[in-house]
Amino acid sequence: MKFRFLLLALLFVGSSSVLHAEPYLAVQQGLKCNVCHVNPTGGGMRNAFGEVWGQTQLPAERVDTGEPWTGEINRFLAIGGNLRATASETDVPHQDNASSFDTDELRVYLEVRAIPDRLSVYVDQKLAPGGSENQEAYGKLWFDNQRFYVKAGQMYLPYGLRLQDDTAFIRQVSGINFTTPDRGVETGLEIGPWSAQLAVSNGTGGGSEIDNGKRYSVRVEHVQSVWRAGASFNFNDADAGQRQMQNVFAGIRTGPISWLAEADYIIDKSFAPNERKQAVGLIEANWLIRKGNNLKLTAEYFDPDRDVSEDQQNRYSIVYEYTPLQFVQFRIGARVYDGIPQNDLQNRKFFFAQLNGYF
Amino acid sequence: MTRNFRCVVFALTAVLAGCAGNGEGLDSNGRPLSGNASSGDGGLHPTLKSIQDNVFTPICTQCHLGAAAPRGLRLDEASAFAMLVNAPSSEVPSLNRVTPGDPDSSYIIQKLEGRAAVGGQMPLGQPPLPQATIDTIKQWIQNGAAQSVAPAKVDVTPMQVHAVAPPPGENLDSTREILLQADGTLNLATLNDASVSLVRSGGDGTFNDGNEVNLGAVHVEARSLDPTVLALKLDGAALVPDSYRLELSGSGAQAVRDSSGLAIGGFVLQFTVGATL
């Protein structure tokens, strides 16, 4: 018992992070992303299976409402949404603490199925914070009994683990996250345990295209019931300089614990005068204590320049997720950033309580 | 359950152990110390240098850096001025990111204060900047949004002009806008058809062999005066796939000159349109 509290205290004090990553649910269930999500690469709107699972299997208790909500208005139209509201306190060394209430995001999803299971148009619109902002808007066409697809428009690029937390090092440093959709074309296959995507996009991080260079993204994943492994490659031929990223990622379930891991290596030639090599990593454990109760522990690593010594940063998190009823989840947690001592922001602590509504 | 818990804690604490750098030999932004390193340790003042050291570099460049910069907005020291001042925002193109003398309509202020028409408050995922910090940035804009005050030049070294976007050799499309920045103030009256030339190679990818095609006048827009930032808008219809050379003359009667009348050091930027030759 003493050992347990000692290690827990050590982890809590010397670490942190907020993370509300969802890929662990796929690892926990041994399912591919497209089983629960409209988007084959995960994230965003849930399909009918995902909606029902989120109401019956995720929460500690399901209030009987009769038929579960599936998001489907009819065969041709489905809707969904997410709301994340947070109360937080940030502790930056040598500064007064800052606390605030924020609406992290309010999103609505819409899928119009012109030909059900074959041809659809998908929209992900962020209504808050700030003004309305389109995140994804694409058309998708399935072939060969939903084994192959092509989609075109504005979309999130396929790369690594699609964590919900955009501030996770692996998502922030890669620049591929829920704040940076790109415009282009993606084709993918979903065959047995294999899932693969190839995308060509502008590579402007959501901005207007300004050059001829394009961004190429490749992601391959093999999914088994208790483990999965994959790799991604991304090359952006941008005005500012070429940027090449590659990663390997994996997940495994050991009893009640679902593990996620990703390691990235980045070569960026946009840093004058020399290229910069960066390394980023994440390990996350999700302990399903009992139905509706998940303890998430995360450790992250970021080396912003492999040619510079003693500049590495860590981030640790401990987050408790409680889903009492369908459609609502509470999160409470802490992040601790651990960086070079002369940079206060790299040593901040972040504490939060969050409400996540989903439908 | 206890065994599982210990397993998790052991694995994560193993990763935790001793990974963060001790910062030895680095400035506050994690870069190696050098004679002219930006320490970022000074107080915040309404100058771009101070804002760069205290805000842009330590906070904004966590995302707005390099080829992965969101919205293509790079806020590193070499790019920030040209990317901000009189540059249209990509989210609301009718507003400049920074309009000198008008902080309230400068999009960067709207984003920092969380009242922009599009998207979330900056910095994303972090606490908002203290109002005092935003007020300092507003003061810099109100004062004219000049690049950092440089010591008075007493030498006669020719002024240099640099390509901010794109870097030399990049492949451009027909909508391309080229951003150039001078080390100081250029005499805009010396920018004319004779001193600014744009030629294409004639299809062979080489220059100076007699078959080059002169494309005539280039539309030059001054985004800033001190230092001078020039946006060159190229006529898309005239840009066929080929290698191109943009030149600002640095000698002779038609040289581009700085505000003191000295000819610049000369500037040449080669780029391609379409397939690389």
pLDDT for A338-359, tens place per residue? 999 998 889 999 999 999 999 8
Q: Provide the pLDDT confidence category of residue A21 given band limits of 50, 70 and 90.
A: very low
Cα separation, A277 vs A287, whole angstroms: 34
Q: Do B170 and A211 touch (CB under 8 A)?
A: yes
**Length of chain B in terms of residues written:** 277
Element (H, E) at B138: helix B131-142
Contacts of B119 in chain A (CB under 8 A): 126, 130-131, 133
Sequence-ordered list of residues with C-beta below 8 angstroms from that of A44, at least 6 positions apart, any chain = A37, A38, A107, A109, A122, A124, A136, A156
Cβ-based contacts under 8 A for chains A and B:
225
**Residue B15's pLDDT is what?**
59
Q: Give the residue from chain B lying closest to A183, CA to CA.
A: B71
Note whether A354 and A335 are within 8 A (CB): no
SS3 B62: helix
Structure confidence at residue A5 (pLDDT): 39
Chain A residue with the nearest C-alpha to that of B66: A270
Using DSSP's 3-state secondary structure scheme, residue A72 falls into strand
Lowest mean pLDDT: which of A115-129, A167-181, A251-265, B28-42? B28-42
Q: Which residues pair with B162 in a beta bridge?
A: B181
Distance in Å, alpha carbon of B64 to nearest chain A alpha carbon? 9
Cα–Cα nearest to A112, from A81, A83, A74, A142 = A74
For residues A87 and A355, what is the distance between their CA atoms, to the nearest angstrom? 9
Q: Is there a contact between A89 and A99 (Cβ–Cβ < 8 Å)?
A: yes
Best of A84, A211, A312, A344 to disrupt the B interface (most B CBs within 10 Å) is A211
Take residue A243 and report the two structure tokens written for it.
């940027």
pTM equals: 0.75
Residues B57, B55: Cα–Cα separation, whole Å: 6
Backbone angles phi, psi at A99, to 5 degrees: -125, 150
pLDDT for position B242: 84
Nearest CA in chain B to A129: B120
Q: b vs e for A269-303, b when ≥16 Cβ sit within 10 Å of the residue's Cβ?
A: bbbeeeebbbbbbbbbbbbbeeebebbbbbbbbbb
C-alpha to C-alpha distance for A284 and A286, rounded to whole angstroms:
7
Range with lowest mean pLDDT among A23-32, A322-331, B149-158, B204-213 = B149-158
Domain boundaries, chain B: 12-142, 161-273
Residue of B nearest to A15 (CA): B16
Q: Do A313 and B5 touch (CB under 8 A)?
A: no
Beta bridge partners of A265: A246, A279
Structure token digits, residue A250: 């994996």
Q: Assess contact for A176 and A159: CB atoms under 8 A.
A: yes
How many Å apart are CA A321 and CA A296, to the nearest integer? 8
pLDDT on residue A10: 35
To the nearest whole angstrom, how far is the Cα of A354 from the nearest Cα of chain B?
Answer: 14
Q: What percent of chain A has pLDDT over 90?
A: 75
CA B246, distance to chain mean position in Å, is 19
- pLDDT for B211: 86
What is the structure's pLDDT at A247? Answer: 97
Query: What is the mean pLDDT for each group of 10 consecutive residues in chain B (277 residues)?
Result: 60 62 88 62 81 88 81 85 88 88 91 82 82 90 80 63 75 69 83 83 84 82 83 75 84 79 81 66
Lowest mean pLDDT among A65-74, A268-277, A296-305, B91-100: A268-277
Question: A169 in helix, strand or coil?
Answer: helix
Nearest-CA distance A48 → chain B (Å): 29
Q: Which residues of chain A lie closer than 8 angstroms to B172, CB-CB?
A: 211-212
Please tell me the distance from the alpha carbon of residue A142 to that of residue A118, in angstroms, as a whole number.
5
Closest to B7 (Cα-Cα) out of A294, A257, A302, A282: A257
For residue A262, the tally of other CB atoms under 10 A from its CB is 27
The token pair at B161 is 């002009």
Q: What is the SS3 assignment for B82?
A: helix
pLDDT tens column, A191-242: 999 999 999 998 887 776 766 789 999 999 999 999 999 999 999 987 778 8
SS3 of chain A: helix, strand, coil, percent, to 5 = 10, 55, 35
pLDDT of residue A11: 36
Cross-strand partners of A216: A200, A235
Residue in chain A lying closest to B53 (CA): A343
**What confidence tens digit (pLDDT) does each residue in A234-268 have?**
999 877 788 999 999 999 999 999 999 999 999 98
The dihedral formed by the CA atoms of A131, A106, A352 and B6, expressed in degrees to the nearest 10: -140
Q: Which two tokens stand for residue B238?
A: 């005239």
* DSSP at B96: B
Residues of chain A with Cβ-Cβ distance to B8 below 8 Å are: 257, 285, 287, 297
Q: Closest partner residue to A212 among B63, B117, B171, by Cβ?
A: B171
CB atoms A210 and B23 under 8 Å: no
Q: Which residues in chain B are contacts of A172 at CB distance < 8 A?
A: 62-63, 125
Q: Answer positive or negative: Cα dihedral of B85, B89, B93, B94.
A: negative
Structural contact between residues A157 and A138, judged by C-beta atoms closer than 8 angstroms: no
Query: How many other C-beta atoms can be found within 10 angstroms of the C-beta atom of residue A195?
Result: 23
* Residue A273 preceded by cis peptide, ω within 30: yes
| CB < 8 Å to A304, chain B | 30
Nearest to B8 by CA among A9, A319, A257, A334: A257
Measure the CA dihedral A45/A50/A55/A59, to 10°. -100
Q: Which of A92, A240, A340 sits opposite B21 (nearest CB)?
A: A340
> A158 pLDDT exceeds 90?
yes
Rounded-to-integer distance, Cα A253 and Cα A27, Å = 6
The DSSP secondary-structure symbol of B252 reads S
CA angle A143, A42, A133 (to 5 degrees): 105
List the 137-176 stretch of B: residues with Cβ below 8 A of A: 165-167, 170-173, 175-176
Tokens encoding B156: 């006669």
DSSP B236: G
Pairing relationship of beta strands B267-273 and B171-172 according to DSSP bridges: parallel
A98, A209, A285 ranked by CB distance to B12: nearest: A285
Residues of A in contact with B128 (CB under 8 A): 98, 100
Model confidence at A18: pLDDT above 70 = no
Chain A: residue whose CA lies nearest to B128: A98
Cβ-contact A82, A354 below 8 angstroms: no
Q: Which one of 2.60.40.1220, 3.30.420.40, 3.30.300.10, 2.60.120.10 gives the CATH number of domain B161-273?
A: 2.60.40.1220
CA distance A95 to B129: 12
> Å from A238 to nearest chain B CA?
6
pLDDT for res A3: 40
Give the pLDDT score at A335. 96
Name every residue whose Cβ is closer than 8 Å to that of residue B62 and which is 6 or more positions away in sequence: A172, B123
Interface confidence (ipTM) of the complex: 0.78
- The DSSP letter of residue B56 is I
* Mean pLDDT of the A281-304 span: 96
